[in-house]
Structure 1
């Protein structure tokens, strides 16, 4: 919805929200199960310590895109 309002193609955010809920659409920030599984594994391995949106944080405090970290550290 934020994208639609920002890009000016959504003039009725309430209607858009209701229609998306009725259709079962997932939000863009919904974590997929494979990302969730990877994050739990990486956290237990102390590869990452936190996740915010599509960014994970390493123990050194670096912020890295989750897809990049999943490529660097695949679950064995």
Structure 2
């Protein structure tokens, strides 16, 4: 799996998960339980991960949704 985006914005994460689910692209939100350890301060960003085979389709989906600025660049 590769990192598609990294953010502290829970709304963006929820939106991305919804987009991926509707497009039938498997994704995984990493580090979401780390907020418990950090005290919910929002210091540690969550990462949205996708399979490398679906990364291009996922990036295009985010660009089409108007949130390409959130996409992690290599």
TM-score range, shorter chain: 0.3 to 0.5
TM-score, normalised with respect to structure 2: 0.32
TM-score, normalised with respect to structure 1: 0.32
Higher RCO (CA < 8 A, seq sep 6+): 2
More strand by share: 2
